[in-house]
Structure formats: structure tokens, C-alpha cells
């Protein structure tokens, strides 16, 4: 369970102060530091004293399926349990943030609820409310019964036409019934808000699931999103649809279309002259992409949780391609909870299919942001009446629930829902919108202060005008160092604000590079997780997708995130840019021994040739002597070569060790045959010249 990140809520929101009733935001050793704000000396305070009675209604985004611990118990059959309400959700965070001064908090949100059922939640509220927060609309896309994720992502074996049918139905419902249904919910809230017109409704939207940066998710050698088990005979000999960039974009477009429908209706109510409460649309949709929190990130290994993608904001199953047997990449490190969740999902899916006898688009499998698979036990609690919003007429509605009301396990239903970090983000954006509306009501807009990051991202090559100018290092060098800097080497000085820490690695080599962290604005605490994430983004966001830089050489950059600034600074400014690893070799037979000379660039860049020496010694049988290695101070004076090495070996070793590139390849190197003058050398004539 993550610690309560109240600093996130305070810092991400627009804050205002009221000495008579304010809530102090504690800064303690157990708090985590989100990317949205720096931890600073002192404390912030916000006034939420006006919130005495409030409510949170909606679907599983508000119920929070999978985030924290499930509330209630199955034995007691409580509404909390049946609706799959969880503890670490944005309503529970905000309720604690409001504090104990509030008199009443109503929380009828229910996983799987469509707008018709959320309409009933609104009608059942006890009135005189100061604030209502909600999510609603995703389930009206018919995606829990039509099983978009099932037919397009998890079990996509029925072809493109079936997946397209589901997507088309979703868009049809957005175009026809979603806006009227949202209006009915907001109308149902009118008699429930405080009578003086000062009530506030915050309607949170949804966020796109998928990154569309590369095709790793569509590559079965990297990630496998389709998950049939060996007993699922109906999928044998079938090829699944792949989770391509195009398919992911279509899913993301549906999310934006839902948000636009919500945005339009909220604007209608906000601008209505006869309105009885104020309303804001809380749009957090850009946040997951901003923090690398979407599925299919280039950083993702496919595991959940994923140490390479710590800011993922949605729950998923493990999609790493290697599922059975030995993982040669050394990535078999499934978290026990993730294992349990994946197993539960697979077993639940198989059980439901066998019970219904249905393996088509009619089967109800999922609850998700768009697709909100109902917990059937929760759905059974709600029935629409004649005045409720129009039902979406999903295929499969009205069928028998084979689970007898118990529903699918939440280890399965939670997939494609916000995790703890997702709920922290929703809470922060909702509080920001609540603060903005309240400040406008009180005429205090001019007194508002936004605490948050002032971000500035620079890539040094672009700052120098491009064209591969300035110091650079190999990507492999940085990839092996940034975690050492952030997790091991960086040190926070005691009782110091605005400190700076820098560490230089591989001094005196072509790969010399400096990592820097600088604090400002009275910040004092080192956030190692943010350091790792930020350095990664500098390294992998700069200098990529460049046909003129096929080796992905890195020129460094700087990323300022509020009070924290991070830098990656290659230091050798006299390197000659290159587009391929290269070197030359010559061996001379001297009767009792052979002498070899090598020059190179792009390899042997950090260890003064020690790995190369060891591999050469191993190949020739141990008799290697007269070793000499040096880095050139100015490669331009040596035809661009960055280093020189020479050594002596027994005779007759050139063919089996160097002319065939055996030794060079073991250390990531390459040589061609040396010629005089150097202009006669040809890259493609690999090997080692001479008679050694």
C-alpha cells in the first residue's frame, strides 16, 4: 500500500489560504514525492472548511476497483464489497484531505455502473451538498458486454471485423446517447446541492491508455497481450490481432471523444443562466503521457509492476513475451500479487466462457476505463426506471449471470483501471478544479497561487543547432550509469537547501560524462525515483529517431522540473562524430613472435582496453605481452581514431583470433585492414592486415 501522498494533492491543486479554517499539509519522512511538485521546507495550507457535506458518485473509476484494499466483506454482503469500492481512491484521498471537520461523506459509486445507474445514485443522495465529484459515461459505450478489450486486446481471435464492430458501436453510443444521459445525471443533482447556488460539481474525465511511440506491443517477441491458455481449444490454430499503433490510436480517440462529450455538457451547465450550482470538468487526460504512465511505453518490459516504468497509472496483467520456461533476459521476477492477479484473470475468463457457452462478442468479461466490465454482483443491484437515461442497448444485455451474482474476481476486473498513482493524479486534478471554482465564487482569483512544476526540457545538440555538434557518448554508457548515479552515488547533504551534486564517470576517456542534480526554491530532499525517471527521459528523449545518428549517440541535456534540475553532460568536446563502430588492425610476423597494432573508435571507450586485452589473451592462449594502450588527446590528429593499442603474441594467431574478428566482436568492436596511406583503407575489408 503506498503512503498517503498528501503533498501531491496540495501541490498539484491551486491553493488558497484561510486562517480561520485551513488544512495543513504535513511533510513527513514517510511521504512520497510526486513529479508534480518539489518537497520544500515549511508547509502549505488550503481552505476546505466550506465542505461540510459532499458525495462521490459514478462508475469503477470513482469506486476505485483494484486501488488499495477492497472495502467491506463478502460475508457481510455490504454495498462497499458488492460495488468493489477500494481504499486508495481519489474520493477517499480527497475526503481525508478535507479533514475531520466535514459532517457527511456519501460514497455510492459502484463498479460497472452506467449512466442510468449513476442517475439513480444521484437521485438517492441526501441533499444540501457542498460538493459532488463523479465519473460517468465510459460504460455507456457497451464495452463491458461487447468486450472490446476481450475481442481487440486480450483474446483477439475473431478477426478484424468483430473488433471493428465493437469500436463502431462504442462510437455510435458516444454520438447518440452519451450527452443526453450525462445531462440527466447533472439534472438529478440540482435538488441535491445547497440552496444558495454555491454548490460545486467536479466531473472527472478519462485518460487514454496507450502510448503510440513504437510497435513493441504488436511484436510477440517483446510483448504478448493475447492470453489464451492451453485449455482454450477454440483459439487453437488462430492468429490474434496485434495491438498495433493504429489500433491503439483508435482506442485513445474513443477516450478523447468521451471526454469531449462530457466537456460539452459541462460547458452547457456552466453557462446556463438558471444554473443552481457551479461545475468544472477535471481533465487529467494528458497526465499519463506526460509522466510515461501509459501502456505500451517504449520503456515497458511487459511486467506489472514494472521497475522500468515506475509511473504507470493503469493496472494491467503481465504481458512480457516470455511466460514459461527460462527467461534468458533475466526478467523472471513476477511480483506475487501480480502472479495472483494474472492467474485469477485467466481462470475467471475461462470459467465464464465455459459457464455461458459463449465465445463471441456477447460475452461479458471486462471492467475498464472505457469498457468498465461490470462486477455482475454490483450490476444486479441497479435497475433502470422509465425516467432514467437511455440504456445503451448493448448486445448481451439481459442474459443470465452464470456467476449467480458473485461476479468476476477483482483481480481480473481491475485491469485497465487507474492504479494508486492514477488515483493520486485524478485527486490532484479534481482538487485543482475545486479550488479554482471556489476561488472564483469568492472573488479571490487574484489571490490564488499555483504551486507546481515549471518544466524546461533542453537537448544540448538542439541547443547547439543540431548537426551532431558537441560532446557525445554512447547510449550504452549512459544506460549503465544513470541508475548508479541516482540510486547509489547521489548524496543529500544534511540540513541543506538548494544543494547541488555532480559526479563525473569515466574521466580521461572518450566516454567521460557528468551527471548533475541541482535544487532550488528551498527544496532539500533527494527524490531518487524521480531522479531515475528524469535521467532516463533525458537520455532517451534526446537525439533519437535520427537517420544521421544510427548508433544513437547521446549529446546530453537538461530537464528542470519545478525546484529540481537534472543534467547529463558529456565532456569530451573534441571527439569526431561517427556513424559506425570502426577500427583498423595490422599484424607483423617477427619469426619468434608477432606484433599487432590496433586503432579504433566507438569501442574500448571506457576501460582502457582491459576487456579487449583479456579476450585477446584468452584467444591466443595466454602469451600476450608488451601491452600498450592510450587514448588520443585529440582524435582529429589521428584520422578520427580515439585510441591506440599494441601488443605481442605467439606466432600464427592472426587468422584464428583477429583476422576473423573473433576477439573484436566479443567486446563490441570491428576492424578493417590497415592501409597506407589511411585514405586507401576500406571499411568493408574486415579483418587484420599483415602477416602476423
Whether 579 and 551 have beta carbons less than 8 Å apart is answered as: yes
Interval 423-440: pLDDT, tens: 999 999 999 999 989 988
pLDDT-based confidence at 409, cuts 50/70/90? low
For the beta carbon of residue 550, count every other beta carbon within 10 angstroms: 10
Residue 531 host element (H or E): helix 528-541
pLDDT-based confidence at 125, cuts 50/70/90? very high
β-pairing, 449-450 vs 564-570, is: unpaired
Helical axes 160-173 vs 245-270, angle rounded to 10°: 10
pLDDT-based confidence at 228, cuts 50/70/90? low
Interval 304-323: pLDDT, tens: 999 999 999 999 989 988 64
| Percent of the chain with pLDDT strictly greater than 70 | 76
φ, ψ of residue 389 to 5 degrees: the values are -60, 155
Whether 260 and 178 have beta carbons less than 8 Å apart is answered as: no
Q: Calculate the alpha carbon distances from 636 to 156, 419, 493 in Å.
A: 56, 53, 42
Rounded to a whole number of angstroms, the CA Rg of the chain reads 30
β-pairing, 278-282 vs 200-204, is: parallel
For 345, the 3-state DSSP assignment is helix
Residue 3 has pLDDT above 90, yes or no: no
Whether 96 and 166 have beta carbons less than 8 Å apart is answered as: no
- Tell which wins on pLDDT, 131 or 382: 131
For residue 433, the model assigns a pLDDT of 93
pLDDT-based confidence at 203, cuts 50/70/90? very high
Residues with Cβ within 8 Å of 415's Cβ and at least 6 positions away in sequence, in order, are: 66, 149, 315, 316, 317, 341, 345, 366, 368
Residue range 6-450, CATH number: 3.40.50.1110
Residue 352 has pLDDT above 50, yes or no: no
Which among 124, 473, 537 is positioned nearest to 293, based on CA atoms? 537
For residue 158, the model assigns a pLDDT of 84
For residue 187, the model assigns a pLDDT of 97
For residue 389, the model assigns a pLDDT of 62
With b for 16 or more beta-carbon neighbours within 10 A and e for fewer, the 236-265 pattern comes to eeeebbbbebebbebbbebbebbbebbeeb
pLDDT-based confidence at 332, cuts 50/70/90? very low
pLDDT-based confidence at 391, cuts 50/70/90? low
Q: Domain boundaries in the chain?
A: 6-450, 455-570, 582-690
pLDDT-based confidence at 28, cuts 50/70/90? very low
Interval 95-121: pLDDT, tens: 998 887 788 999 999 998 999 999 999
pLDDT-based confidence at 42, cuts 50/70/90? very low
Q: Mean pLDDT over all residues of the chain?
A: 80
For residue 147, the model assigns a pLDDT of 60
φ, ψ of residue 279 to 5 degrees: the values are -145, 150
Side-chain half-sphere exposure of 115, counting CA atoms within 13 A: 30
For residue 44, the model assigns a pLDDT of 37
For residue 41, the model assigns a pLDDT of 34
Point out the least confidently predicted range of 76-80, 420-424, 650-654. Answer: 76-80
| Percent of the chain with pLDDT strictly greater than 90 | 61
Interval 137-182: pLDDT, tens: 988 875 544 467 778 888 788 889 888 888 888 888 888 899 999 9
Residue 259, preceding peptide bond in cis (omega within 30° of 0) = no
Average pLDDT over residues 627-639: 96
This prediction's pTM: 0.54
Interval 566-612: pLDDT, tens: 999 999 999 999 999 999 999 999 989 999 999 999 999 999 999 99
φ, ψ of residue 180 to 5 degrees: the values are -60, -35
pLDDT-based confidence at 444, cuts 50/70/90? confident
φ, ψ of residue 604 to 5 degrees: the values are 60, 35
Average pLDDT over residues 341-356: 35
Interval 449-508: pLDDT, tens: 444 456 889 999 999 998 999 999 999 999 889 999 999 999 999 989 999 999 999 999
Amino acid at each position: 500500500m503506498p503512503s498517503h501522498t498528501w503533498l501531491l494533492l496540495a501541490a498539484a491543486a491551486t491553493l488558497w489560504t484561510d486562517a480561520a479554517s485551513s488544512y495543513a499539509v504535513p511533510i513527513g519522512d514517510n511521504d512520497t514525492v510526486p513529479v508534480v511538485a518539489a518537497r520544500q521546507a515549511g508547509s502549505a495550507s488550503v481552505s476546505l472548511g466550506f465542505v461540510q457535506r459532499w458525495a462521490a458518485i459514478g462508475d469503477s473509476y470513482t469506486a476505485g476497483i483494484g486501488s488499495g484494499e477492497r472495502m467491506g466483506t463478502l460475508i457481510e454482503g455490504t454495498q462497499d464489497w458488492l460495488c468493489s469500492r477500494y481504499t486508495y481512491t481519489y474520493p477517499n484521498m480527497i475526503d481525508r484531505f478535507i479533514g475531520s471537520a466535514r459532517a457527511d461523506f456519501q460514497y455510492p459509486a459502484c463498479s460497472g455502473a452506467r449512466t442510468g445507474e449513476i442517475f439513480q445514485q444521484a437521485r438517492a443522495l441526501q441533499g444540501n451538498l457542498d460538493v459532488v465529484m463523479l465519473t460517468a459515461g465510459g460504460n455507456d459505450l457497451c464495452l463491458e458486454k461487447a468486450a472490446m478489450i476481450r475481442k481487440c486486446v486480450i483474446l483477439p481471435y475473431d478477426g478484424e471485423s468483430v473488433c471493428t464492430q465493437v469500436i463502431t458501436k462504442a462510437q455510435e453510443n458516444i454520438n447518440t446517447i452519451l450527452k443526453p444521459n450525462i445531462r440527466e445525471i447533472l439534472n438529478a443533482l440540482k435538488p441535491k446541492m445547497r440552496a444558495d447556488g454555491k454548490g460545486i460539481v467536479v466531473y472527472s474525465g478519462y485518460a487514454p491508455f496507450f502510448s503510440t511511440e513504437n510497435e513493441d506491443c504488436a511484436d510477440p517477441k517483446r510483448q504478448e497481450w493475447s492470453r489464451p491458455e492451453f485449455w482454450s481449444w477454440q483459439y487453437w490454430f488462430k492468429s490474434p490481432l496485434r495491438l498495433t499503433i493504429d489500433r491503439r490510436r483508435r482506442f485513445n480517440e474513443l477516450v478523447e471523444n468521451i471526454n469531449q462529450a462530457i466537456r460539452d455538457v459541462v460547458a452547457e451547465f456552466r453557462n446556463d443562466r438558471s444554473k443552481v450550482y457551479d461545475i468544472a470538468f477535471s481533465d487529467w487526460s494528458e497526465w499519463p503521457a506526460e509522466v510515461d504512465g501509459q501502456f505500451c511505453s517504449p520503456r515497458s518490459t511487459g511486467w506489472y509492476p514494472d521497475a522500468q516504468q515506475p509511473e504507470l497509472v493503469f493496472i494491467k496483467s503481465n504481458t512480457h513475451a516470455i511466460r514459461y520456461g527460462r527467461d534468458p533476459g533475466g526478467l523472471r521476477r513476477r511480483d506475487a500479487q501480480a502472479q495472483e492477479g494474472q492467474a485469477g484473470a485467466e481462470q475467471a475468463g475461462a470459467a465464464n466462457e465455459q459457464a455461458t457457452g459463449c465465445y463471441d462478442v456477447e460475452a461479458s468479461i471486462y471492467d475498464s476505463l472505457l469498457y468498465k466490465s461490470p462486477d455482475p454482483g454490483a450490476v444486479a443491484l441497479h435497475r433502470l426506471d422509465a425516467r432514467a437515461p437511455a440504456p445503451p442497448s448493448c448486445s448481451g444485455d439481459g442474459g443470465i449471470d452464470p456467476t449467480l451474482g458473485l461476479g468476476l474476481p477483482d483481480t481480473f476486473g481491475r485491469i485497465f483501471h487507474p492504479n494508486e498513482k492514477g488515483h493520486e493524479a485524478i485527486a490532484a486534478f479534481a482538487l485543482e478544479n475545486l479550488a479554482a471554482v471556489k476561488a472564483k465564487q469568492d472573488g479571490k482569483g487574484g489571490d490564488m497561487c499555483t504551486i507546481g512544476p515549471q518544466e524546461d526540457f533542453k537537448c544540448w545538440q538542439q541547443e547547439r543547432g543540431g548537426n551532431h555538434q558537441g560532446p557525445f557518448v554512447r547510449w550504452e554508457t549512459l544506460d549503465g550509469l544513470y541508475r548508479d548515479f541516482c540510486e547509489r552515488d547521489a548524496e543529500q547533504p544534511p540540513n541543506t537547501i538548494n544543494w547541488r551534486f555532480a559526479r563525473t564517470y569515466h574521466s580521461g576517456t572518450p566516454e567521460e560524462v557528468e551527471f548533475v542534480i541541482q535544487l532550488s526554491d528551498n527544496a532539500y530532499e533527494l527524490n531518487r525515483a524521480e531522479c531515475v525517471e528524469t535521467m532516463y527521459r533525458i537520455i532517451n528523449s534526446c537525439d533519437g529517431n535520427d537517420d544521421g545518428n544510427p548508433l544513437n549517440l547521446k549529446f546530453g541535456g537538461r530537464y528542470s522540473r519545478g525546484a529540481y534540475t537534472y543534467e547529463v553532460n558529456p565532456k569530451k568536446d573534441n571527439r569526431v562524430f561517427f556513424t559506425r563502430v570502426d577500427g583498423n588492425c595490422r599484424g607483423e610476423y617477427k619469426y619468434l613472435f608477432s606484433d599487432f597494432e590496433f586503432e579504433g573508435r566507438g569501442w574500448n571507450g571506457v576501460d582502457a582496453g582491459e576487456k579487449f586485452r583479456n579476450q585477446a589473451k584468452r584467444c591466443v592462449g595466454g602469451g600476450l605481452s608488451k601491452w600498450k594502450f592510450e587514448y588520443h588527446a585529440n582524435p582529429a590528429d589521428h584520422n578520427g581514431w580515439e585510441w591506440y593499442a599494441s601488443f605481442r603474441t605467439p606466432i600464427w594467431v592472426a587468422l584464428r583470433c583477429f583476422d576473423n574478428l573473433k576477439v573484436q566482436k566479443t567486446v563490441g568492436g570491428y576492424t578493417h585492414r590497415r592501409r597506407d596511406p589511411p585514405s586507401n583503407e576500406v571499411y568493408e575489408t574486415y579483418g587484420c592486415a599483415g602477416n602476423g
